[in-house]
Every structure is written in C-alpha cells, then in structure tokens.
Amino acid sequence: MTRSIPGVPPAGETAQRRALPVLPSASGDPGALDRRDFVKTLGVAAAGTALLGCSQEQVEKLIPYLASPDGMVPGVSTYYATTCRECAASCGVIAETRDGRAIKLEGNPDHPLNRGALCARGQAALQGLYNPDRYRGPMIRRGDRLEPISWDEALRAFAERVAETRRGGQAGGAVFLNQHESGAFPAFLDDWLAGLGMPPHLSYDGQADFASIAANRQSFQVSWPRYDFRAARLVISFGADFLDAWGPSVTYQLDWADARTDFARAPKLVYVGPRRSLTGLNADEWIDCRPGSELAIARMLMGDFTPAQAAVVSGVDAARLERLRAALEAASPSLVLGGGSMDVALMANAINNARGNVGATVLTAEPVTAYDGMNSPADVRTAVDRMRAGSVSLLMVRNVNPVHTLGRSGAVAEAMGRVPFKVSFSSIMDETSELCDLILPDDHSLEQWGVAQPLRGTLSLQQPVMNRVFDTRPTADVLMAVGRTDSALASRYAAPSFREWLLPRLPGGANGIAAALPNGLIAGNVEPRGATRLAPLPRLAPPIEGTQGDLYLVLYNHPLLGVGRGANKPWLQELPDPVTKILWQTVAELHPDTARRLGVKNGQMVRVQTEAGSVNLPVCTYPGMHRETVAIAVGRGLVRSGRYASAGVNALELLLPFEDRSGAPAYVATKAQVAAAPGYQQLVTTEGSARQHGRGIGRAMLLADIGRDVEHHDGPVHHKLPGDGDHSHLPGLRAPIAADAQGDLVHPEDIERGMYDPKHWSGMAKRRWAMTVDLARCTGCSACVTACYAENNIPTVGAVWQGAKLFPDKTGFGANILRSREMAWIRLERYFEGGEDGGPDFDTRFVPMMCQHCGNAPCEPVCPVYATYHAPDGLNIQVYNRCVGTRYCSNNCPYKVRYFNWFGYGEPARAQYAFPEPLNWQLNPDVTVRAKGVMEKCTFCVQRIREAENRAQAEGREIIPDEFTVACAQACPSRAITFGDAADDRWAINRLVHDERAYHVFEELNTYTAVVYLRKVLHQEPSHSPQRRLVPGSAADTGGGAH
Amino acid sequence: MASVARPVPAKDVEIRQRPNIASADVQLPAVRDYEQVDREITGTLSPTGAWYLGLAVAVFFLLTGIAAWLYQIQQGLGVAGYNPPVMWGVYIITFVFWVGIGHAGTLISAILYLFRAGFRTTIYRCAEAMTVFAVMTAGLFPILHLGRPWKFFWLVPYPNWRWIWPQFKSPLVWDVFAILTYLTVSTTFLYVGLVPDIAVLRDRETNPIRKRIYALLSLGWRNTDREWRHFARMYLFLAAFSTPLVLSVHSVVSFDFAMSLVPGWHTTIFPPYFVAGAIFSGIGMVFTIIIPLRKWFRLEHYVTLNHLDAAAKLALFTSLVVGSAYMTEWFMAWYSALQVEQDFFWNRIFGQWWWASAILYFCNMIAPLTLFSQRMRRNVTWLFILSILINIGMWFERFVIVVPSLSHEFNPWQWTSYAPSWVDYAILAGSFGWFSMWFLLFIKQFPVIAIAEVKEIVAPRLRTEHEHGIDVAGLHVDYERETPGEKE
C-alpha cells in the first residue's frame, strides 16, 4: 500500500528484476567505513537523537537507509535472480529485497528446474540468512570456549596452520568436507587444495538419496536422469518419495500435477514401501510391504520371483502383487522409481530398461547434473576413520554436520578429537562446528556469488541479494586470501575476490553475465570437478530379518527439515509434517493396531531401542504404517545447532553403523525393541480429526465420471428451503443473501448484485477477488504455508520460551500448539477416507484451507466494532487497529480460519517474540506485524492486490489479467492454487471456477465463498464405501491426536 | 409492596397455620409491631467480627482476581486457557452466569410485585441488591475477556470525528445496551425501594456524618401521604418498566449465541431458555444468600419457611422449564436431521463433554425434582445444598453451551478441547470476591429486608395496649420467634 509512490520505475513486466550493480561493500577492505556508510550512520544517529526529544515511544528505524544507494526507492522492492542452495537441486529463486533487505524468496519462473515454484525449505533459506544463531564473525577456540576474533587474526591463524601442515609434510592428511553443491566452487576448491598439496575435498550431502545416485551412476552413467511423468502410463515408486524430498522434488511436483490433471492419459501411481510417505499418500495404491522387501517385489516385477515368492518375503497378498505385475505389463511406457536402497534403485533402473522406459520416461540424455560430483557418505565415513586413526592433520568443514548426520554410532565427535586442528567454514552453528578450533563463517548463499549447474547445459547464477548480515566472508574469498599468502599460489589468486575469479570463467564472460543476471540463467556448462571417489567398501548391514527386536525400524529424513539443516528455522519447525501433521516434536509412528497391541495410545511414551542406543518417544498412530514397523523422522533434536533445533529427539541415536551398498547410512537396517514406557507427551499436532465425518470438505470424483454430468453425494445433504439462494451457482461469487441483508432485496439467483452496488463510488465493486484450489493437483507439500508465513509476517509460536507461560510446570516446544494456537493463515488439512479397518486402502484428501472471503461472511455482522467488514471488491477485510479482540468472528467462522494473537508475538521485549533479531529483518514492510490481542487471518495478500492496483493506476492502465498472484499461489509447486478476479472473464480463474469439479466447502451455510475447490480425481473406485457416520468416534481413533 | 395486611378471621387460624399456604398470603405472625421491625432489622446493620472476616475473604479473592487480570493484560490473553477454536471460555461462561443471577432480583421485585405474590416481601431487597451487584460483576467480563480491554469503549456508540460507529448488527453491541439498561433500571429500582427505609435509618442514626448521608439519600422523606402516594405510583411504574427488561436482557444475552451459526448456538429456543435459566439460577443464588443471612441475622421470623417454600416452588417451576428446554435440544438434534448438529450434540452428551452435561443434568434437572416434596422444600439445609448445586449446575449450563459447541464445529480438522488455566480460575474467584464485597458492604449500610414493606404486613400498634394481650386482629398469639410450620 505504501508502494504508490509517484516516480516508481516503470515496470513492463510483472516482476522487475535487476542485477546488483555493484558488489556489496566490505568484501575488499573490512573495517573501513566508506562515505555512504558514514552518512547513513550519521543520519540514523541524528534522527534518533532528534526523535527522542519529542516522543515517549520507542524510536525505531523505519527504513534501514537514510541515504539510499542509487536507483533504490524506499518502499519499492528490487528483485534479484539467484540460486537456492538449500538442497543440492539448485532451483532458481527471485529474491525480493526492500531497502536493502531480502524479504521474500520466490521461484524463478524462467528456471527450467522449478519454473517459478519454490518448496518450503527453499523459502526458509531466508531464515538461514537471518538466523539468530549464525556465527556473527570469526571465532577461535581458547580453552574450551570459542571466542570472537578479528578477520585479520583469523586469517592469519588459518594461514599459519595451513603453512605449518605443509611444512610438516602432512598436507596430504588434510580433509575438506564440503556441503555438496554443483557449479564452479567445488572445482575451485579442489584446485585450491591441490595447490597446497591437499587431497580433493569430499562433497557430502546428508539429505540427498545417495542410494539412487549411486544406482543411476552405475546404470546410466549419470547421477540423476530426468523423468517424464507425463509420458508414463503407470508409475511405481519403491520408496522414492519424489514429492517429498527425493531429488529435485519441486520439479516433480509440477510434472506430476500436470501429468495427473491431463485426465485422458493420467498415470496411475503405485507406492511400495513400509510407510506411506507424502508420495505414498498421493498414490492410487499403496503396497505395504515389509521393510527391506521392496527388492523382492521389484525382482518379482523383473520376473526373478513369482508373486507367491515375493508375497512370502514382503507379507503382501500375492494377488495384489500379481495385479501389480499385470498392470506393469499393460502399461507402456511406465516409470519405476527406486529410492532408499541402491539394490532397489538398481532393480528399478533395470525394470525401466527392460520395459523400454529409458528414453521414454527416463531421460538419461538430459540429466539433472546437480548431484554430479557428490561423494558417497561412505567416503566421509572413511575420512572419519582416518581421523580416528590420527592420520588427519587438518580438518576443514563447510556447512556439513557429520557429527550429527552420521549418528551417534558414527562416533565422529570422538574421531574429531584426534585431529590436531579443525576449521569450520559453516555459517551457522552446529554440532561439528562447535568442536572446531577456528570458525571462519561463510556468507549465506544469498550473500555471495556463485554458479550452480542444475541441468546439463544450464547454469544458474548465484548473486548476493543484499549486504551481508553478519561479519562473515565467502569461503572462496578466504581461501583465496590464504592462497595469496603462499608464494606458490599467489599468482593463481590475483583476482581480488571469488567473483572476479568466477565471472570470466563463465560462458560469455563478464559481459554475458551482466546480461544474464536479470533472469539468473546462462546456457553452458562449467567444468565439472574430477572424480574423487575414495571407493571404500561399504559396511553392509546384516539382513534385517536376522536382527533382534519387535518391530522393523524405519528412519526417514524429515521432508522439511532434511537431516537437520532446517531444524533451526522456525518456519520449518512450525510447518506440520505433511503426513503426520506433527510439528516441533519427534514421534514414533505406529500403525493403530500395533499401538493397540503394545497397549499405548497417542502421546503415550514408548522406548525404542536398537543396538546403537535408545530413545523415548510419544506414539503417533498413523494408518499408513506397515503393522510390523515403527517409523521415526530424522531431523530434530539437534542439541548444538541453535535455539530452535533442539525441539524433539534425535532419532539418529538409533542408527547402526551400517551402510547401504551405495555407502549411504542404512536407515532401514534393523529391528528395534519397542515397549511402552512411563510418561505421556501430548502430541504437538495441528490435526483435530483425521476424518471428514461426511462434511464434504475435501471431495473427490471418479476419473470415469469426468465429463459425465453426474450427481455427487460426497457432501452434506442440503435441504433446500423456500427463499434460499441458489447453492449451485459458482462465482460470479456475488452474494445475493448479503445484498438482502443490506435491505437491498434482489432475486436470490441474481449473481450480478453483491453487497455493494456494482457502480459503487469506489470503483472496486466491479471486481471479485477469488481463488480456486485444485485438489487433483495439490500434493499436500505445504510450500504454500511457508510462503504465507514469509509474505504475511506470521509469527511462529512453538518455541519453548513462547509457551512457557502456558504450562508453568512442564515447558517444552510446541506448548502453544498444544493449545491449537498456531497462526498459519493457510493450513493443509489432511483427511483420510476409508481404511477404517486399518487396511492399506485409504484415500487421502489434502485441503488447503484459508479464509474463504465469503460473500455472505458470518464473521462480519458479529464484530461489534466493524473490525472486519466487506470490501466492495469481495475481500473480507480485517482491520487490526480497530479490532478489540472479542473473537466472536472466529466463533462464527465455519472454516475456523481466524487466528488470534494470544501473546505479543511481535513485541521484541517479550518472551514470546517470534522474530528475534535479525529474523525481524525479513518482515514484509507492506504487512503489519500484528499486536497482542487482535484477530488476524488470510487477507488474499491484500497488499499485493493494492500494489498491483496502484501500479496500474500510476501507469494509467487497467490491471492486466493474471498480472500478479498471491503468495501461496505463487509458491505452489503443483500450481494447485489460482487467484484472480472472478468477475472478469479474462482472468485464468474464470475457466476454473466453472469447472465441473468445482464446489464450495460448506456451501449449505450460504456463505458464498470466494474460494472454489476443484474435486480430487480418483483413478480407481475406492474400495471403501463413503458412508456417513452419524455418530463420530473420538478423533483419536483414526490416527491423529485429538488436541 | 406486599399484599396488603389484612386481619385473618379467627375461623381461618387453622388455614393460616397450615404450612402450604398460598404465596399471596404469607404472613409474619411473629412480627408484632413496627418498633420490633425497626429494632430487629436495623440491628443487623452493626458490623461484627464475622462480617469483617467475610469482607476480608471477599477482598482477598477480589485482589487475586485483579492480580490475575493485570497479569493477563500484561501478558496477553494467552495466559487464559483458550484453545482455538474455543475462543470463548470461562469469562463468557461467567458473564452469562452472573447476568443470569442478576435476573431473580428484578423478577422478584417487579414481576412478583405485579402478580401480588406476597412471599417476595421479605426477600426482594436481598434479591434486588444481588441483582445490581451481579450485573455489576457480569458487566466486567465482556471487558476483561477482550484481547485489548483498554479499547472496550469502542463498543459504545459515542460521537467521534471519524464517524466510526459500532456494528449495530452485532449482538455484542446489543449486549452493551441491554446490560447498561438493565444495570440502570435495576439500580434505580433498588434505590427507589430503599428511600423510605433510608429515612428510617436517618431517623435512628446518631453519627452526624452518617446521618447527613442518609438524609441526603432519603431525599427528605417525611412519611407523608402524598409521598407515599407518589412512591407507590413510582414503584408500580418501575415494576412495570422493569418487567419486560427481565425478559429482554437475557434474551439479548442469548442472542450472543443464537445469532451465530455455530451448531448448538444457532437455535430459536435460546431466548426463553436463557430467561428461564436465568430466573432459575437467580433464585438459586437468592437461596444461597438468604439462608445464611436469615440465620446469622436472626431473621428467621421474617424470612419464614413459608417464604422459602414459595420461592422453592418457583425454583421447581423454572427447573422444569429449563429441563424441558434441555429435552427440546435432544429433540431438535434429532429432528433437525443436520449431521453437524447431531455430531456436535452427540459429542456434547456422550462424547468429550459427557461429564459437563452430566453435572448440568443432575444439578438443574434431577436434584430440583426433590422440591416436589414439601418436606424438602421446607428443609433449610437441603435448600441451601440444592442452591449450591443449582449455582454449579447453571455455571455448567453455560459451560456446556459455550465450550462443546466451539470445540466441535463444522470443520473436523479444528476439533479441539478446552481446559481453563489458573488465570481463568483466579478471575472467576475474583468475580465472587467482587460480588461478595459489594454485597457485604451493602448489608451493613442498608436494611437487607425492606422495613417499609414489612411494616405493611404487620399490624400497626394499638394506641393503647390491650389488657389481655390480644392483638389487633383479635388473636391470642404468644410472642414467640417460632413461625408456623417450623416447629414440627
């Protein structure tokens, strides 16, 4: 709203993107204060002094700059294209910066990998950038403490150490562990190491599925082929969670959604695995095999086994396996994906080969190169073994955390104790860095230059989007500075910084880069790093059947937190797991029948014990579990990775020191002893009831019924009464009832008239902002939720200190969530349909639920102070300043999408403050940080609407249809959400609202919502009958915690 | 103003002494003359140690509540036990509870006055004071349940240059009007009724300052016929004016719920149901107050068993009304054929909240059935216990209305639970402290039984004493404290 400043730079495109004209200062000459900084400092200080005299209020800086850099207009965003480094895939992002601060990350629409979408983890990179637990500058160990030192001292200490190592002839014993990334830096690093006589670095990624990578390398000589879901007629996934985090999953979200909504030739998905992951929940069929028996089923498909033999091993009904085999025979082309185990992945590749899928659905010729150069985790383990043997002279780590990711049984901490000098380049504290002797914190990836190579032939540029937050330096610059101290290397590193080193080496040179920066992409390749495989023999686990225990233990990487990289980001901690809906907590997932057999209920503690260790966890029953299995997510319970990361329990305590044949830690390798333990921990979940109870919230229809005018019976029965409006009408979305309520009696079916006269003086009544949510596209990944948090300054409330006032006797993470006080304006409701008998055949409905902006809103008339009212353009407005907090609006909201500020989450002085410095730098200046005691809810990103209107007005034009969209729709990787003006036929939304699958949630309540849902499409007749249960059972009976 | 005292013919002595008398005919045979009335009733005004102790306890609870509220203001509403979507909890429950209690006073003083129900005479002052203080208590809760209580005046339509008015469609705004109106009228009613009594106090007062205050408050009452005529007219007018308010206020309060579309709230039965419940709870509270009071103040011969008996019948009647409203809810849940309504109702009665419903049904429907027995109606101990049960039951009635509906609404994903926190309990206790403090202060400043009205039903003293100790009605009645029916 503050963006309607005259003289806004003209923007022909939707997003005006510009290259950063100059490198941020302080890279060359730290400590020096240039003229601009001096003026800024002086101005701010003077303003502060002047203001103090006349106000009792706390003086705050409205904008970070008083004298802004050239070309920067206060209150107008600048957009930079860069590359996401949160996982190896290297999606392209557009960083929105305002007054020199990055405030939002969105997918780069031109990027071939993510095509404008961005997952929750990628968006949360901002909370890595602004993480309060980042190292604020270089540190050195004195005694048992890390103490801050200056960069000069730190560089000197590092250079001395390097020189000393070389003098002692021990350079060959140095180890550099680097977070795996694609692009130029790995080669640069190897080059630097080689110059010093050190071995190439180990490129390590704890969260990538190395089993698949190793298999692909063996089968196809590429790390990761591209998959074409649209061409496939049948997709079989053996634990390859391509919608959760397996590979470049953002790519797959869109591919999959596109493939599935091409109804004429949509592929069917069968998921094989002991636990139904998010991908499993999106599958049409789930084959709940025993852990470790996926291979047998895959071999059955290959023809090595008969279905009967595979049935014995896997515990799955032979007839089902036979059906699966027949389906695979019938489908051509098909696509078989294997993950988690190299053997399974190899077998999947073999099936693809045998079925002729390679070249059709498995595109090895245009591979994803983001995983090239990655070392096997076994290489890292070998390095650790060397450390333990005392043969490592110098250890350097950068953004990897093997102390955590290799588990307690990896004994990395002990091994590191034998290394004389350890240097960490990590930008944020973690278990490994805390053991190091010298910390030379790296810039965050949003603060530094670089290049990534996501695909063959495509380079994705990485550029700083803002000045650095802390006193950090790019590792490459540090390495170059150290190199310059060595006479032999000095000539190699003549360039003042990595940027100058890098740019000439890219295709097109520096000029080409300048041209390419606005969209962040260059065609071409960088020289890949050479093969550095140590090729150790993996420590294979003994057969799982032979291990001792009651239940198979399935560890899996949390889809949002990775192995723990996301654990210190409150957005990700507060984002409910898409499957279990657990947040801030680690749980033991058990099938309801198994839990019953153990005599435990949701929240009761169980002790899970393996030979490596034991953990006590609360039980969370989940019907998508194999009955003989306990599953635990890895990624929480990090004790030294920052203030948020210690939520939950570290499941890697249970990890045995075994490896898959690829060298990846064996997450499924043993049975575990599981027994009820004393104690109870209420489940921290956002789930009320996991069943819809016939309310028709997430509806579905059969694929066969598409295009046939059938009547659906999956919602509440509505008895039409005289005088009722026409419930079947879709937007238009005007609310004749609301007009009636204004005394403006109109015909009940007249959709032209709303509460406001179309000729309302404001000129706004001609629009009706509306949204469609296509449940056939939505995969439940929850990226929209994080986008909303980022866009709308939504506080996270689950940290331990934020809930301390609630349960003074027992404090823990998620106390506010236990009271259902999460603030997510958009939430992913996840309902199970069918499977009441505990069987594997249940259907899942993911329903993004946000304010429905009802045309006849129940919340509006009950607010005594007009804090919520109806805008002429159809928005349901919430005026925070007017709200007194009666909360009646929430009571009257059937969708329950209003959220109350129970505490002062936005007040820095309070314990409940949700944005500890510098997390508050991320706050969107267009959106109020809400005060204690007021109600808030989804605004349809009103700030974006008004910005677009203002921009159009400033440019003397109408808004172009689909010129802008809201944050959730923008982020959605599967394009399930569409936003637009339903009163204007030119907007894309108008096609969707009149889709045959369209319905309103609770339309029987005459709310005339602006959000239209499109039915999910079932590809096979559900095995359950969708009977209405008149009498609901307790919410706990279906696998979720009632809270 | 009670039924006019009229001599009871000698032949009706037996009738009079039969305990189960018509309520219009309640008499005070043990009260012989005006002097006795003045003496005994004003005698209750001198403070005692027990009274100070009681006041101290009340103030302690009040301070606890204030401390809790300040803490809540400072920290935010989050310290209360709210569990969204249960956005209303103990405060709204307690608000409705106190508004309900505030109903019996006006009912007894106004409606029963219009109906010439004589048993009201001795209890109405107490009930009226209770009404005023209960409404004062209730009025706090809509404020202290606000997220930003310092902005409460935004609910009041006051002129402002921005021309922002309250949303007149919101029942919460209606509440503001209803409560303020009711508070004004009931306070006026209480005060007008007090004027002749204050004159008595003025005349008997020796402390010059207090005498001056009483003189001021008595508005120069001189006991002239003209004053009495105006007084009676005024009182009748106020009674007539208050009567619709008794019905309207709680109807409006019920609109807070009934105007919403929450299952269990969205029902047309709420206004009469709430009014009946309010009267029921008010009478319960009257018992809770008057039974200890008549004992401590030794006023058993004023508030006789006959009065209690008659009031108990009213309690029984309202209990039956409320009970049939509960039964209607069962019927409606079934008859509505609305799945949301049925699910919610099932959960309320048999599911998550069965215990609250069980308390409600026992206290409000089952326990009061004992009042069909005359023996129980005249058992003061049982009446007191029952009154406590009714208070608990009526608090839980509101709990059952507020919480189970919100915790089990349309969207199953948002089904939750609710448990109050210590702040809720402290503020609840504070409300009792606040109420009790005012009431305790009141009973030591003003007569808790209407002196003037009691005098109306007591025969005036003869100019000369009858030599045989025969009173004006020609009855040989020994002066004794016992009242008919109490000696069994």
The tens digit of pLDDT for each residue in B328-358 reads 999 999 998 888 999 999 999 999 999 999 9
pLDDT at A793: 96
Smallest CA–CA separation between B242 and chain A, in Å?
26
Residues of B in Cβ contact (< 8 Å) with A895: 410-411
Closest-CA residue in chain A for B170? Answer: A862
Which of B173, B337, B417 faces A864 most closely, judged by CB atoms? B173
Q: Does the CB of A1008 have a partner CB in chain B at under 8 Å?
A: no
What percent of chain A is predicted at pLDDT more than 90? 65
Residues of B in Cβ contact (< 8 Å) with A1005: 261, 410
Find which of A435-449, A475-489, A717-731, B20-34 is predicted with most confidence, using mean pLDDT. Answer: A435-449
Residues of B in Cβ contact (< 8 Å) with A933: 76-77, 146-148
* Nearest-angstrom CA–CA distance, A324 and A333: 15
Region for B309 from its dihedrals, namely left if φ exceeds 0, alpha if ψ lies in -120 to 50, beta otherwise: alpha
- Please state the rounded mean pLDDT for residues B394-400: 95
CA distance readout (Å), A122 to A77, A558, A660, A790, A799: 20, 15, 28, 12, 21
Nearest CA-CA partner of B100 in B432, B485, B439, B397: B397
CB A302 within 8 A of CB A313: no
Beta carbons of A885 and B147 less than 8 Å apart: yes
- Coil, strand or helix: which one is A40? helix
Q: Which of the two residues, B463 and B210, has the higher pLDDT score?
A: B210
Closest-CA residue in chain A for B82? Answer: A819
pLDDT at A537: 82
Beta carbons of B151 and A884 less than 8 Å apart: yes
Beta carbons of A866 and B166 less than 8 Å apart: yes
The pTM for the full model equals 0.89
Residues of A in Cβ contact (< 8 Å) with B342: 1030-1031
Element (H, E) at A165: helix A151-167
Residues of B in Cβ contact (< 8 Å) with A935: 147
* Nearest-angstrom CA–CA distance, B276 and B358: 20
Residues of B in Cβ contact (< 8 Å) with A1032: 343, 346-347, 351, 412
Nearest CA-CA partner of A92 in A117, A73, A62: A117
pLDDT at B459: 66
CA distance readout (Å), B353 to A382, B325, B347, B360, B361: 59, 19, 7, 11, 12
pLDDT at B258: 94
The residues near A531 (Cβ < 8 Å, ≥ 6 apart) are none
Residues across chain A: 1043
Beta carbons of A888 and B148 less than 8 Å apart: no
Smallest CA–CA separation between A146 and chain B, in Å?
36
Q: With bands split at pLDDT 50, 70 and 90, how would you rate the model's confidence at A741?
A: very low
The mean-pLDDT minimum among A24-28, A195-199, A855-859, B44-48 falls in A24-28
Task: Choose the mutation target among B343, B411, B416, B425 for the interface with A, i.e. most A CBs under 10 Å.
Answer: B411
Q: With bands split at pLDDT 50, 70 and 90, how would you rate the model's confidence at A1027?
A: very low
CB A788 within 8 A of CB A938: yes
* Nearest-angstrom CA–CA distance, A392 and A386: 6
B438 pLDDT higher than 70: yes
Which of A864, A893, A894 faces B170 most closely, judged by CB atoms? A864
- Please state the rounded mean pLDDT for residues A685-697: 91
Smallest CA–CA separation between A867 and chain B, in Å?
9
Residues across chain B: 488
Q: Does the CB of A882 have a partner CB in chain B at under 8 Å?
A: yes
Beta carbons of A866 and B347 less than 8 Å apart: no
In this predicted model, what pLDDT tens digit does every residue of A294-343 receive, in sequence order? 999 999 999 999 999 999 999 999 999 999 999 999 998 999 999 999 99
Smallest CA–CA separation between A326 and chain B, in Å?
39
Nearest CA-CA partner of A87 in A399, A510, A492, A515: A399
Q: Which of the two residues, B284 and A4, has the higher pLDDT score?
A: B284
Place of tokens 């005299």: A53
Residues of B in Cβ contact (< 8 Å) with A863: 167, 170
CA distance readout (Å), A453 to A159, A448, A500, A840: 31, 16, 19, 40
- Max alpha carbon distance in chain A (Å)? 94
The residues near A799 (Cβ < 8 Å, ≥ 6 apart) are A570, A643, A644, A647, A813, A914
- CB-hemisphere CA count at 13 Å for B82? 28
Q: Which of the two residues, A393 and A17, has the higher pLDDT score?
A: A393
- Max alpha carbon distance in chain B (Å)? 85
B254-258 long-range Cβ contacts below 8 angstroms, 24+ apart:
B255/B171, B255/B174, B256/A888, B256/B92, B256/B96, B256/B171, B256/B172, B256/B175, B257/B401, B257/B402, B257/B405
Residues of A in Cβ contact (< 8 Å) with B406: 891
Task: Choose the mutation target among A820, A878, A1003 for the interface with B, i.e. most B CBs under 10 Å.
Answer: A820
A675 pLDDT higher than 60: yes
Beta carbons of A1030 and B343 less than 8 Å apart: yes
Beta carbons of B261 and A1005 less than 8 Å apart: yes
Which of B154, B171, B337 faces A865 most closely, judged by CB atoms? B154
Q: Which of the two residues, B337 and A620, has the higher pLDDT score?
A: A620
Q: With bands split at pLDDT 50, 70 and 90, how would you rate the model's confidence at A32?
A: very low
Q: Does the CB of A909 have a partner CB in chain B at under 8 Å?
A: no
Q: With bands split at pLDDT 50, 70 and 90, how would you rate the model's confidence at B216?
A: very high
**Residue A847 tokens, joined:** 């329903």
pLDDT at A1041: 35
Smallest CA–CA separation between B179 and chain A, in Å?
15
B126 pLDDT higher than 70: yes
A588 pLDDT higher than 60: yes
Sign of CA dihedral A455, A456, A457, A459: positive
- Please state the rounded mean pLDDT for residues B256-278: 92
β strands within A496-576, DSSP E: 521-523, 551-557
Beta carbons of A849 and B413 less than 8 Å apart: yes
* Nearest-angstrom CA–CA distance, A184 and A182: 7
B230 pLDDT higher than 90: yes
Smallest CA–CA separation between B396 and chain A, in Å?
19
Smallest CA–CA separation between B27 and chain A, in Å?
49
Smallest CA–CA separation between A892 and chain B, in Å?
6
Beta carbons of B76 and A901 less than 8 Å apart: yes
Beta carbons of A891 and B406 less than 8 Å apart: yes
pLDDT at A1022: 67
pLDDT at A260: 93
In this predicted model, what pLDDT tens digit does every residue of A196-228 receive, in sequence order? 999 999 999 988 999 999 999 999 999 999 999
Q: Does the CB of A431 have a partner CB in chain B at under 8 Å?
A: no
- Coil, strand or helix: which one is A12? coil
**Residue A987 tokens, joined:** 């907007």
Smallest CA–CA separation between B68 and chain A, in Å?
13
Residues of B in Cβ contact (< 8 Å) with A901: 76, 147
Sign of CA dihedral B247, B250, B254, B255: positive
A722 pLDDT higher than 70: no
Q: Does the CB of A45 have a partner CB in chain B at under 8 Å?
A: no
Q: Would you tell me which residues 940-959 of chain A have a C-beta closer than 8 angstroms to some C-beta of chain B?
A: none
What is the predicted ipTM?
A: 0.89
Q: Does the CB of A810 have a partner CB in chain B at under 8 Å?
A: no
Closest-CA residue in chain A for B86? Answer: A891
- Please state the rounded mean pLDDT for residues A590-606: 94
pLDDT at A651: 94
B483 pLDDT higher than 60: no
pLDDT at B114: 87
